[in-house]
Amino acid sequence: MRVDPVGARCTAQLLSGRPAASAEEAVGRVLAVQGQDPRGFRLAVRARTRGVTAADVDAALSGSRTLVVSWLNRGTLHLVGAQDFWWLHDLTTPRLRTESLRRLAQEGVSPEQAELGVETVAAAVAEAPRTRDELRAALDAVGVPTAGQALVHVLLAATLRHRLIRGPVQDGEHRMVLAEDWLGPAPEPLDRGAALALLARRYLEGHGPSSDRDLAVWAKLPLRDARAGLAAIDTVAVGDGLVDLPEREEPAPLPTRLLGNFDPILHGWASREAVLGVHDPQVVAGGIFRSWAFAGGRPVGLWRIAGGRVRISPFGPLAKRTEHALLQDAAAVLAYLGMPEKEAEILPA
């Protein structure tokens, strides 16, 4: 069976078809939304929902506590549902610890300083939610290096050891807390086989059809673990080594959307080629995933917000219908972010 990978991925990710009715539903479908860029993960929610705003995402982080951000999967910050944090942390972070120690050493943090830094961070957040700058000051006070990327890797090490999360947003900034303090006691851990099966099913819901290699790369787990998880659930073969869930909905018409930087449609598989094609170097450069315009199953340009106005830079001439749809979506972006509406600008190709 021949599969249109772009159409299938868009439907699996809620970019096509029925949108989610809440931020929690959208995040739950993708399972883990890359979250190092605060506007980026909020825009990822926007593209997959209807009737939701960025303020609703903030409310889920700070009020209902149904969404959190933490280091998971590939050692990158991810936005996840609170109920999914525990088992994803237990399953995906143990392999990150060796790499964490190596990176700390590269940043000039000795094992003794790393241990002191981890305990300093844990003690600080146990007292009250802390901003990154507050934690930097606490580490500086005890002589733990924070220059360059040292601070990030000390915070990562503390997260791996003590289950730290970025929970409440105050004055536009995340504050770090202990997961148990913010979310309540940890649930009973899943045994590894059950966790791998849950990972495989939840991954396919938001990324199928996919291969075992896709899952292994996305979760940064050994290929044998990805295969074990997939083998434990009901899947159907769809050709070219891909598998999917038997209840998968049919692909819906492809969307016209302004997608934010680090959008999940580019992170769930071993290769981005099917989605970005020849435009990969324009969208992804130096590890940065830019905000881009998507129409007709392909990238058609980049976009940004400057001076409160959405400015779209197309890769080539756009059909009038595509221009109109992108301008409408630009207005929706500003409304979602709570910004005053200004007419978007499409720059010359």
Mean pLDDT of 194-206: 98
Residues ≥6 apart with Cβ < 8 Å to 128: none
> Chain-wide mean pLDDT for the chain?
96
CA atoms in the 13 A half-sphere facing the CB of 267 = 24
- List of residues 6+ apart from 22 with CB closer than 8 A: 49, 52, 56
State the pTM of this model. Answer: 0.95
At residue 208's C-alpha, the angle toward residues 202 and 210, to 5°, is 110
Q: What is the pLDDT of residues 297-345, one digit of tens each?
A: 999 999 999 999 999 999 999 999 999 999 999 999 999 999 999 999 9
Gyration radius of the chain over CA positions: 21
The tokens describing 317, both together, are: 């001439």
Residue 206, both tokens:
């938001």
Report the half-sphere exposure of 197 (CA within 13 A, side-chain side). 9
Read off the pLDDT band of 171 (50, 70, 90). Answer: confident
16: which DSSP letter? S
Predicted confidence (pLDDT) per residue in 7-23, tens digit: 999 999 999 999 999 99
pLDDT tens sequence across 251-289: 899 999 999 999 999 999 999 999 999 999 999 999 999
Give the pLDDT mean for 47-69: 97
d(CA 132, CA 109): 18
Question: Quick one: which of 172, 227, 240, 239 has its CA closest to 200?
Answer: 227
User: Strand pairing partners for 170?
Assistant: 173
